[in-house]
Structure 1
Amino acid sequence: MFNRVFLFLATNLAVLVLAGIVMRLFGINPQQMSGLLVMAALFGFGGSLISLMLSKTMAKRATGAVVIEQPRNEAEQWLLATVQRQAQAAGIGMPEVAVYDAPEINAFATGANRNKSLVAVSTGLLRQMNRDEAEAVLAHEVSHVANGDMITMALLQGVLNTFVIVLARVVGGIIDNYLSGNRDSRGPGFAYFIIVMVLEVVFGLFATMIAMWFSRRREFRADAGGAQLAGRNKMIAALERLSANHSASTLPSQVEAFGIAGGVGHGLKKLFLSHPPLEQRIATLRNSQTSVM
């Protein structure tokens, strides 16, 4: 909880400091920025918070995940019992447990409330993993919930969205004034809106890099949390199984970042990965204790 609040406050402070520097450098009246900041915050946080609130519903619909209400077989009974035990150990409310049809080994967790979350596993995971490995994957997902990763990502994305909206318009106005020779007193013209659109794409790419950097860090923390709940050897074995049986994820884009699998990319693409490479995650667990990093 403390880390989440600290990250939120630190990121907001960085945005405010940067905005202040830009305004001082270019002689912008802070009062002129108040409306822009309010608008940017509404749009920047609005989308990410709405997505967070609807994340469970969207994930179920997108994946076709079926929540286990009454276990139909021994495997579903084991899933519920394992998640319940891990949730109690992690100090969170019992998540909904669901199964979705997909060939690859994967699982994800989502939800706006750590006490009312969703943990879902693929049918491929149930077929291809033994119980120890599956237990570790469930522990990894429960750790995501306990760490508040979904909430933190939404807050971070909201701050980054606000930053992109504000900076694109401030820099766009400066460029437009320079190109027009400061002769246009009627306000921004068509060129200004084109410049802003281009800048939003450019700044948005940098914002995505920051969000994905944090996403990769939270995977290490969830691995460490999974090692605490299920055992380090089980967590390592689960990641090794994922590495040996890696295949392209079929998870929809809105929940793909919350899956346990991922981390395949080369060159600049690595900057946009939501997960570290599996071999790096395995090496980190082998060389560390089971405490959360």
Structure 2
Amino acid sequence: MLVFSGFLPLTKTCVQFDLTREVSVSDTFQVLSTHYGASGEELYGVCARGCTIDIRCNAFDICKDQLLCRTIRGWTPVTPGNVSAGVCQRFQMKCQEGDFLDRPNGTCLSHYYCDFENDPEPSCFLSESLADQFDWTRLTGSTLSIDTGPTSAARGLYYKYIETSDIMLGEKAILESVRTFQDKTYCLTMYYHMYGDTTNTLTVRTQKGNNAAIDRWQRAGDHGNAWYRLSGLSLPLDPDTKILIEATKGSSFTGDIAIDYVELWPFACP
């Protein structure tokens, strides 16, 4: 991934960016749905006030408080007047896929994500728990049973789901975090699919040490044959706290629950 920082002559200001709408300086949240990025159909950007006209926060980056940025490849910022010739100056700095650029310090910051495209997956912060009754299944294409589960991944080719054909009512499959977190608030995003007449629950919890786990988010029941996006769940974490993603079996085989592209951002959700 290429991440850019740049400086402009004071006489020029970037106000327009190809492939997206202009954003009012009062907007704090921008959805970018068409881009040339290597992965994904949508990216969510957090922009500081006035980001689109601030040379410290080139708007073809996705910025958080003008510090944490990810670049969308193929976007061209332009200056007013001569769109074809007045291209904003910039130089590039390379960060690993999934990392952010800390603009003031010029360093790359980690970003955890699980897209399930590879097994094993070094970037993934989740692993199968030993404290559940069965495991999640990595799959491409349709699930085994009719009238339940997705027919394809939300992004890429692979996703994870619970196969409920031979599982007892109420049994749980849990993915738990295996990273040591800093003492701060993180933002969890993911896609989820809950289709079938006997779909039970999908729950995100946090657990500190041996204390009881705390429910942070939950969905229950049949949501239809569609992927949905959890666009942001703020989670207070620390070195002793872990994240649990738990799916519970319903009363029959038509209760497959799937997740895809789970991301953990190193800042609170907007």
> So what's the TM-score if we normalise by structure 2?
0.25
| Higher strand content, 1 or 2 | 2
| Higher helix content, 1 or 2 | 1
Q: Taking CA–CA contacts closer than 8 Å with sequence separation of 6 or more, which of the two structures ends up with the larger relative contact order? A: 1
Kindly name which structure, 1 or 2, has the bigger radius of gyration based on alpha carbons.
1
> So what's the TM-score if we normalise by structure 1?
0.24
